Homo-oligomer: A and B are copies of this chain.
Amino acid sequence: MDAAREAHAREAFRQAVVNTLERRLFYIPSFKIYRGVAGLYDYGPPGCAVKSNVLAFWRQHFVLEENMLEVDCPCVTPEVVLKASGHVDKFTDLMVKDEKTGTCYRADHLIKDFCKEKLERDPNITAEKAAEFRHVMAVLDDLSAEELGAKIKEYGITAPDTKNPLSPPYPFNLMFQTSIGPSGLTPGYMRPETAQGIFVNFKDLYYYNGNKLPFAAAQIGQAFRNEISPRQGLLRVREFTLAEIEHFVDPEDKSHPKFSEVSNLEFLMFPREDQVSGQSARRIRIGEAVTEGIVNNETLGYFIGRVYLFLTHLGIDRERLRFRQHLANEMAHYAADCWDAEIECSYGWIECVGIADRSAYDLHAHTDKSGVPLVAAEKFAEPIEVEKLVITPVKKELGLAFKGNQKMVVEALEAMGEKEAMEMKATLESKGEVEFQVCTLGKDVTITKSMVSILKEKKKEHQRVFTPSVIEPSFGIGRIIYCLYEHSFYTRASRGGDEQLNVFGFPPLVAPIKCTVFPLVQNQQYEEVARRIARSLTAAGITYKIDITGTSIGKRYARTDELGVPLAITVDSTTSVTLRDRDSKQQIRINVDEVASVVKEVTDGLSTWADMQWKYPAHSSTSAED
């Protein structure tokens, strides 16, 4: 019952947030006048401003701070690239169809819904059955099409809207497909992630970086997933903005020179072992996590720390943020380690940033497919002497002995491994000949001493050539923003106590509009002062909203609190004005000519509201907020 009440409260809270967001145009269902399209949303003016603030801070915090190479690649991508990356073959969800209407559903969603419904609403469920449903929900991601189909049959699940029977599950590729050029012969897709654009450019970027590792490339851009049936509002959409970093390192040295700058940060982590043994997330110092091997390496740990700083600076509540390690079954076979920054909101814990050590997988895949080696080289300070096996078949002798089969014998000799070759060498030296199996001939042949020379030569090598590892922090910007909305939202009673007012308590960094300008009453003098202040705000690069309507000042505050505007300037004289702080509702008095620079200092984060309260006289008004 408590769980039900809690679920109800979560739902009510979400509705309050979403209603405010939609009413104030933070977002708009796209193409609304045409009844919209599931999974497509517009950012309206305040939402668009929040997004561009988040992206600007991302650039500052990651690209500029780390001197990353930012690139900007097209969304339209030819098939060959996504064939190499594995998306054409594997980027699928399992789908079932209503056999009569053709409506499509995600197979795992239907089973999950069924189990959840049973667990929550069926009072007669046995403990055994309950355990089974919980188990099914836990392993859902691992089930094959056949297994999902069997479960659907076993549980008698039908189409939710019509109760019609369902088709067996089959894979549906989640990429939007298109065709490049007029011929219809060049299939293409809208990219499902921005990362591939970076991988295919590795060679040029490495060169641009002076052929030195490590370095990181970054990209912000649209990505597309043709979801089968988008749910969870703004969290699962068909087009979204990703910000991705690909940090290339020597697989033999994943240390990070700036790791000490984050190593003392302590936050909620949820290692694989703790999840498996049924424990909860716990506070761990990231330095410790790396030392103890919980996190695979320093570079991965460094990015986990930087992501923590990024999210908390934006206003994400540190108590509702955790870093969860992927379980073995979640992780791609090639990944060395993977952590998700998960943020808790009314939908539960949501994956918002993935931070993965993808090893050399992606560069290998594109090297194989394109034939262009995507490798790095470590130049040795001094050449290093190495022993190399050299097998030299003597073609003349072999030709005489084997005639038409010569080529096969030569190839088989050259293909010998070190151990086999050294054994042959020893036998030849002691006995003069050796029996040698040539698979391509399907028989053994006799090799004599004169037919092949086997040597170990000392060679000088000047460099080590290798495929770099990739450490990839990948940010779902829309998801971060939605969680930020929930974490920033609160309500408070109006002055009269008769209604609940909504507030978005955004930090100035994120706030869509930094301040408002209100003449207290409608008169020409105040309006002129307001316009003068507005011009000085524009010159200082501060976004503002001016409201010269006769609406009561309290109503005007309430309206802009709902937009998360941190500061309000009220023009109540021609020489000085009142500056109000959104969250504390406290007010100070400042000269007209000074106010823009004060607002700039606070919104740029150079001073706090408390600093300003120290510097400027308080203003008390009994009538302001009625």
Residues of A that sit less than 8 Å from B by CB: 24-25, 28, 30-34, 37-38, 40-45, 47-49, 51-52, 59-60, 64-65, 67, 69-78, 80-81, 95, 102-104, 172, 176-183, 185-186, 188, 190, 197, 200-201, 203-205, 208, 210, 217, 222, 224, 226-229, 238-239, 366, 369-370, 372, 374, 538, 541, 543, 545-546, 549
**A186 CA / B37 CA spacing, docked (Å):** 10
Least Cβ distance of A526 to chain B in Å? Answer: 19
**B182 A172 Cβ-Cβ under 8 A:** yes
- Chain B residues with Cβ under 8 A from A80's Cβ? 31, 34
Nearest 10 pairs between A and B by C-beta? A43-B72, A33-B370, A45-B69, A33-B372, A104-B182, A74-B239, A42-B73, A176-B178, A48-B70, A48-B72
Please report the C-alpha to C-alpha distance between residue A374 and residue B205 in the assembled complex, in whole angstroms.
49
Report if A176-B76 is in contact (Cβ < 8 Å); known contacts: A49-B70, A103-B183, A204-B28.
yes
Whether the Cβ atoms of B72 and A42 lie closer than 8 Å is yes
C-alpha spacing A110/B546, complex, angstroms: 56
Sample 28 A-B pairs with CB under 8 A, ordered by A number: A25-B205, A30-B197, A31-B77, A31-B81, A32-B201, A33-B200, A33-B374, A34-B78, A34-B200, A34-B370, A37-B78, A42-B71, A42-B73, A45-B71, A45-B205, A52-B70, A64-B541, A74-B239, A75-B75, A75-B224, A76-B190, A172-B182, A178-B190, A180-B226, A180-B238, A181-B228, A210-B549, A222-B222
CA distance A177 to B188 in the complex (A): 11
Partner of A177, one of B59, B178, B217, B370: B178
User: Could you tell me the dominant secondary structure of chain A's interface residues?
Assistant: mixed
**Please, which residue of chain B has its CB at the minimum distance from the CB of A539?**
B65
Chain B residues with CB below 8 A from A185, complex form: 102
Copies in the complex: 2
Provide the bound-state CA to CA distance between A200 and B33, in Å. 7
- Chain B proximity of A213: nearest CB distance (Å): 16
Q: Compute how far the CA of A538 lies from the CA of B64 in the bound complex, rounded to whole angstroms.
A: 7
Report whether A44 and B71 are in contact in the complex, using a CB–CB cutoff of 8 Å. yes
Q: Which chain B residues lie closer than 8 Å to A200 at the CB level? A: 31-34
Question: Assuming A80-B34, A182-B226, is B42 touching A74 (CB within 8 A)?
Answer: yes
A45: min CB distance to chain B, Å = 4
Tell which of B40, B95, B372 touches A182, judged by Cβ atoms closer than 8 Å.
B95
Pick from B32, B60, B72: contact of A204, CB below 8 A: B32
* A571-B24 Cα distance, complex, nearest whole Å: 53
Given A183-B104, A226-B180: A203 in contact with B64 (beta carbons within 8 A): no
User: CB < 8 Å: which of B203, B210, B222 contacts A33?
Assistant: B203
A76 interface neighbour in B203, B238, B374, B538, Cβ under 8 Å? B238
Most-contacted residue by chain B among A33, A45, A229 (CB, 10 A): A33
> Which of A74, A104, A217 has the most CB atoms of chain B within a 10 A radius of its CB?
A74
Complex contact B71–A48 (CB within 8 A): yes
Inter-chain contacts of A177 with B (CB < 8 A): 178-179
Determine whether the beta carbon of B43 is less than 8 Å from that of A71. Answer: yes
- Quick one: given A44-B204, A177-B179, A183-B102, are A30 and B172 in contact (CB under 8 Å)? no
- Which B residues touch A369, using CB under 8 A? 34
Chain B nearest CB: distance from A80 CB in Å?
5
Residues on B with C-beta less than 8 A from A38 are 181
Assembled-state Cα–Cα distance A348/B366 (Å): 39
Give chain B residues whose Cβ lies under 8 Å from the Cβ of A543: 64
Contact of A81 among B34, B179, B224, B238 (CB under 8 A): B34
Chain B nearest Cβ from A559, distance in angstroms? 10
Tell me if A224 and B71 are in contact (CB < 8 A). no
Chain B residues near A52: list those with CB within 8 A.
59, 70
Shortest beta-carbon distance from A88 to chain B in Å: 14
A222 to B34, CA, bound (A): 22
Further pairs besides A43-B71, A75-B239: 6, Cβ < 8 Å? A24-B208, A33-B370, A44-B69, A60-B541, A176-B188, A179-B226
On chain B, the residues within 8 Å of A51 by CB distance are 72
Cβ contact within 8 Å between A201 and B238: no
Residues of B within 8 A of A203 (CB): 33
Q: Which residue of chain B is the closest to A49 with respect to CB atoms?
A: B70
A555 to chain B, nearest CB (A): 13
Residues of the B chain whose Cβ atoms lie less than 8 Å from the Cβ of A25: 204-205, 208
- Give Cα A127–Cα B59 distance, bound, in whole angstroms: 60
User: Which residues from chain B contact A222 at a C-beta distance below 8 Å?
Assistant: 75, 222
Q: How far is the CB of A594 from chain B (nearest CB, A)?
A: 19
- Name the residue of chain B whose CB is nearest to the CB of A217: B45
Closest residue to A186 on the B side, CB-wise?
B37
Give bound CA distance, A183 to B205, whole Å. Answer: 41
Output the nearest chain B residue to A237 by Cβ-Cβ distance: B74
Q: Cα distance A199–B179 when bound, in Å?
A: 28
A42–B213 alpha-carbon span in the complex (Å): 22
Can you name the residue of chain B whose Cβ is closest to the Cβ of A83?
B34
Question: In the complex, are the beta carbons of A104 and B181 less than 8 A apart?
Answer: yes
CB of A261, distance to nearest CB on chain B (Å): 11
Which residues of B are found within 8 Å of A47, using beta-carbon distances? 72
- Closest residue of chain B to A43 (Cβ to Cβ) is B72
Instruction: Report the bound CA distance from A48 to B208 in whole Å.
Output: 14
Closest to A180 in B: B37
Closest-CB distance, A446 to chain B (whole angstroms): 47
Known: A74-B239, A181-B226, A226-B180. A366 touches B204 (CB 8 A): no
**Which chain B residue has the least Cβ–Cβ distance from A239?**
B74
Q: Given A180-B226, A190-B190, A200-B33, decide whether A70 and B42 contact each other with a Cβ distance below 8 A.
A: no
User: Considering residues A52, A71, A72, A180, which has the most beta carbons from chain B within 10 angstroms of its beta carbon?
Assistant: A72
Q: Given A59-B52, A178-B190: A201 and B44 within 8 A (CB)?
A: yes
Residues from chain B with Cβ under 8 Å of A95 in the complex: 182
Interface centre among A180, A182, A217, A226 (most CB of B within 10 A): A182
